């Protein structure tokens, strides 16, 4: 029982990342009808926003140490962080410690800007081209973005720490009446799950309860009619592209402490996210979220030793097996609508 | 000739001459000159040109003709490599059985994957092939380690049985005794040309593959595949079942990929799982699109182009750049080197990505279309010429077209 609960929890954080990326992909596909292979790269850029902010906070300059000289008589130098110079000792230390959550604020404008530039500069010209062309040009863009990041940050993963307060683990077992240490779960993963639930809820609420969201939903259903009613639907879709980029970016920012960001983390997630989107049903937002969590949890159950003893290697392929079965038995995915992506 | 029309035969002839003379053509610079690093005439690289040419020709039969974009073709390449190495371990170091088995195994494998994946089209087909390929890749790394030797990669060793080989048979892949890595070197003044056995085996096989692909393109079967691309629904409404045709195209392209994998393993008897990763599938897509999907020559051009620049660009480092621009004023030289630095050496992938985007945006037909547009610029004069001259030009172009 406790082992099952533990795997359920383990699946949640990976599932959250899948769900967030798949949600962004589906937003773009549902509004603009574009298959965005560069979405994984946006996730990766988000993670590197967190890296950048913590790098900015660790910028330092040399200052002579008042205590005196070293054994050769030269004055000693200390590295002094700029943040501590500007904001004082305590606030500076706090800023450094909390750099990952603070990177959320830093990442939102950057990701929105990247999204707008991408849509206006590139994607706009591909609405009328076949899906294969869209896949290819965004695939090229993904390579470019990933190489640019590699050029500036190098090829090695960069460890990025969560705030001190969340570094420990939480003993779930005691809370639920199991033995101590039966279910131990890192705080940060809990936060990641809560954060993604918040973002997913926010996106759905935005689409459901605001006028802007209503217009966007109308545009998703019938773009032409909305345009004929005198609404500039293209502009709103561009904003939705920016929001989708921001969702992917935020997923990346918060993922940085879980897995040290490296330049190809986007590609690794992209393949799985596409599988998630297709399993959920192209163009269905709830489907993407559902499939994301479902596949994340299935993956973590498949990595249990009891399961692996019966079916060796199943943890490596479970997602693909499920995807193939679903695509062949439910042609539109779990919650796909009729007429989407059917030639 | 060879049941080809004049134009196709000419194309085949040109490709044949270029391929067979490649060791000379690709070595235009003397070995001791500063430009020698642009020489591509060494066996290792030339073999990759033709092997990936075969891979791309096969991929083009599926993608270029039917429009089905597979993101999993590297799996067939990997399977081909593994079966070739196993053949060399168990049976004989002769490459013939190894290559035959790799084609057969990849063919069978693609029948299974194609039969399932082709039930869907469009992006669903891409995702299905991607899923199958990633499954093969993950399994090759984990559970199938007894067959694939996991991360180390499958290698040949002296203790292998090799039941057909005698006691003193060569211990390196060979064709009836001629070892793949043996080569004849000809020195002409400062120029050094290497004629390698392995390269010529690959080149002859590629020419055969190219010939088959021309025949497929010109056959009623090829016409049927093009019809699938332009409007599959209409084909179905006229009462035609398109599935056997698309499946045949899928299996043919899978066998080409297996052949390429088998050749890779024959040139260097080592097979690793990374050949099956989806980035490897992406690479063949890049080659085909860059050269020109749906054209005969495009995939070969694309494969050669990417493999050449991958090797040459990644060799250019800052010292080489400084050497080039040394005639300029110092500040300007440093500036140029700083600007170019991110795009060469380890940053070659950035150039590839940019180039690929530019091709997809401005030249959807790839390098071949670029060449045609370039040619049209020169022919445009004809239209503006006087009536008599225009008639003459028309006649000339007509005879050329025939």
ipTM of the complex: 0.81
Residue B364 lies in a domain: no
- Compute, in degrees rounded to 10, the torsion defined by CA atoms A21, A27, A28, A33: 130
Candidate from B128, B232, B347 with C-beta closest to A327? B128
Nearest residue in chain B measured CA to CA from A140: B353
Q: For residues A187 and A192, what is the distance between their CA atoms, to the nearest angstrom?
A: 9
What average pLDDT does the segment B249-263 reach? 95
Candidate from A151, A317, A342 with C-beta closest to B139? A317
Q: For residues A18 and A295, what is the distance between their CA atoms, to the nearest angstrom?
A: 8
B123 to A125: CB separation less than 8 angstroms, yes or no: no
Mean pLDDT of all residues in chain B? 85
Across-strand partners of B187? B192
Residues in chain B, total: 402
Contacts of the segment A301-305: beta carbons below 8 A, 24+ positions apart: A301/A4, A301/A7, A301/A8, A301/A11, A303/A7, A304/A3, A304/A7
A196-205, A322-331, B153-162, B312-321 — most confident range: A196-205
Percent of chain A residues topping a pLDDT of 90: 21
Nearest residue in chain A measured CA to CA from B232: A343
pLDDT 10s digits, B37-51 = 778 778 888 899 999
A136 to B360: CB separation less than 8 angstroms, yes or no: yes
Q: For residues B89 and B258, what is the distance between their CA atoms, to the nearest angstrom?
A: 18
- Token pair 């005196």 in the structure block, residue: A68
Per-residue pLDDT at A68 = 65
- Please check whether residue B232 touches A, CB under 8 A: yes
Residue B359 lies in a domain: no
Domain count of the fold of chain B: 1
Q: For residues B145 and B141, what is the distance between their CA atoms, to the nearest angstrom?
A: 6
Q: For residues B11 and B240, what is the distance between their CA atoms, to the nearest angstrom?
A: 33
B349 to A147: CB separation less than 8 angstroms, yes or no: yes
Q: What are phi and psi of A96, to 5 degrees?
A: -65, -45
Q: Which two tokens stand for residue A6?
A: 């533990």
Q: Which chain A positions have a beta carbon within 8 Å of B134's beta carbon?
A: 271, 317, 320
Candidate from B135, B233, B353 with C-beta closest to A320? B135
Give the structural domain span for B260.
Answer: 25-277
Question: Which of A209-213, A323-327, B134-138, B166-170 is predicted with the least confidence, judged by mean pLDDT?
Answer: B166-170
pLDDT 10s digits, A31-60 = 888 888 889 999 999 999 999 998 888 888
User: Distance (Å) from the C-alpha of residue A76 to the closest C-alpha of chain B?
Assistant: 35
More confident residue, B234 or A185: B234
The DSSP H or E segment spanning A290 is helix A285-302
Does the reported pTM lie above 0.90? no
**A343 pLDDT higher than 70:** no
Q: Which chain A positions have a beta carbon within 8 Å of B67's beta carbon?
A: 132
Q: Which chain A positions have a beta carbon within 8 Å of B361's beta carbon?
A: 122, 125, 137
Residue B71 lies in a domain: yes
- Please check whether residue B230 touches A, CB under 8 A: no
Per-residue pLDDT at B203 = 93
Q: Which two tokens stand for residue B19?
A: 């391929």
What confidence tier does B400 reach under pLDDT thresholds 50, 70, 90?
low
B353 to A133: CB separation less than 8 angstroms, yes or no: no
Q: Which chain B positions have a beta carbon within 8 Å of A279's beta carbon?
A: none
- Please check whether residue B354 touches A, CB under 8 A: yes
Q: Which residues of A touch B (CB under 8 A)?
A: 35, 122, 125, 129, 131-133, 135-137, 139-144, 147-148, 151, 267, 271, 274-275, 278, 282, 312-313, 316-317, 320-321, 323-324, 327-328, 331, 341-343
């Amino acid at each position: 029982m406790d082992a099952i609960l533990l795997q359920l929890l383990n699946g949640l954080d990976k599932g959250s990342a899948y769900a967030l990326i798949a949600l962004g992909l589906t937003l773009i596909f549902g509004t603009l009808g574009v298959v965005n292979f560069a979405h994984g790269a946006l996730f990766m850029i988000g993670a590197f926003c967190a890296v950048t902010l913590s790098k900015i906070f660790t910028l330092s300059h040399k200052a002579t140490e008042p205590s005196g000289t070293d054994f050769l008589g030269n004055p000693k130098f200390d590295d002094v962080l700029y943040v501590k110079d500007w904001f004082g000792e305590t606030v500076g230390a706090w800023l450094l410690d909390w750099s990952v959550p603070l990177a959320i604020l830093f990442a939102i404008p950057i990701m929105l800007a990247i999204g707008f530039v991408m849509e206006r500069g590139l994607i706009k010209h591909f609405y009328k081209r076949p899906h294969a062309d869209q896949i290819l040009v965004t695939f090229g863009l993904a390579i470019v973005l990933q190489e640019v990041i590699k050029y500036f940050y190098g090829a090695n993963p960069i460890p990025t720490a969560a705030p001190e307060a969340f570094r420990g683990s939480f003993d779930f077992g005691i809370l639920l009446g199991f033995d101590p240490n039966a279910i131990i779960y890192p705080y940060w993963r809990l936060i990641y799950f809560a954060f993604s639930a918040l973002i997913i809820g926010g996106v759905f609420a935005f689409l459901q309860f605001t006028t802007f969201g209503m217009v966007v939903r109308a545009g998703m259903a019938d773009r032409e009619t909305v345009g004929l009613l005198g609404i500039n639907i293209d502009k709103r879709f561009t904003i939705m592209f920016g929001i989708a980029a921001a969702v992917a970016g935020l997923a990346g920012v918060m993922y940085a402490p879980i897995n040290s960001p490296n330049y190809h983390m986007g590609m690794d997630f992209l393949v799985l996210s596409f599988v998630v989107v297709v399993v959920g049903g192209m163009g269905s937002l709830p489907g993407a979220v559902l499939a994301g969590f479902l596949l994340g949890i299935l993956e973590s159950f498949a990595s249990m030793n009891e399961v692996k003893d019966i079916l060796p290697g199943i943890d490596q392929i479970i997602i693909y097996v499920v995807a193939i079965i679903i695509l062949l038995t439910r042609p539109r995915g779990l919650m796909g609508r009729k007429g989407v992506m059917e030639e | 000739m060879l049941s080809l029309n004049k134009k196709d035969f000419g194309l085949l002839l040109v490709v044949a001459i270029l391929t067979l003379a490649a060791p000379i053509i690709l070595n235009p610079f003397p070995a001791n000159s500063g430009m020698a690093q642009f020489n591509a005439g060494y066996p290792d690289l030339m073999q990759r040109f033709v092997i990936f040419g075969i891979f791309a020709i096969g991929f083009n039969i599926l993608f270029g003709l039917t429009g089905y974009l597979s993101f999993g073709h590297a799996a067939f390449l990997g399977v081909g490599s593994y079966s070739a190495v196993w053949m060399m371990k168990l049976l004989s170091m002769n490459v013939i059985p190894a290559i035959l088995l790799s084609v057969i195994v990849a063919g069978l494998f693609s029948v299974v994957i194609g039969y399932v994946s082709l039930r869907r089209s469009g992006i669903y087909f891409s995702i299905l092939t991607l899923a199958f390929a990633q499954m093969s890749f993950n399994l090759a790394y984990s559970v199938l380690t007894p067959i694939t030797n996991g991360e180390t990669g499958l290698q040949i060793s002296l203790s292998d049985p090799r039941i057909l080989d005698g006691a003193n048979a060569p211990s390196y892949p060979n064709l009836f005794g001629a070892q793949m890595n043996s080569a004849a070197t000809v020195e002409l003044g400062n120029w050094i040309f290497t004629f390698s056995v392995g390269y010529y085996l690959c080149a002859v096989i590629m020419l055969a593959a190219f010939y088959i692909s021309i025949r497929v393109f010109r056959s009623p079967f090829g016409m049927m595949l093009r019809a699938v691309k332009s409007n599959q629904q209409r084909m179905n409404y006229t009462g035609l079942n398109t599935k056997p045709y698309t499946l045949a195209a899928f299996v043919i392209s899978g066998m080409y990929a297996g052949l390429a994998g088998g050749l890779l393993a024959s040139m260097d008897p080592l097979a690793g799982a990374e050949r099956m990763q989806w980035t490897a599938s992406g690479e063949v897509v890049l080659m085909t699109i860059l050269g020109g999907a749906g054209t005969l020559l495009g995939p070969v051009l694309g494969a050669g182009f990417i493999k050449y620049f991958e090797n040459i660009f990644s060799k250019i480092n800052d010292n080489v750049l400084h050497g080039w621009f040394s005639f300029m004023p110092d500040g300007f030289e440093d500036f140029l080197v700083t600007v170019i630095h991110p795009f060469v050496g380890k940053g070659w992938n950035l150039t590839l990505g940019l180039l690929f985007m530019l091709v997809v945006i401005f030249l959807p037909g790839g390098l071949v279309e670029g060449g045609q547009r370039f040619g049209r610029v020169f022919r445009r004069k004809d239209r503006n010429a006087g009536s008599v001259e225009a008639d003459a030009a028309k006649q000339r172009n007509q005879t050329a077209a025939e």
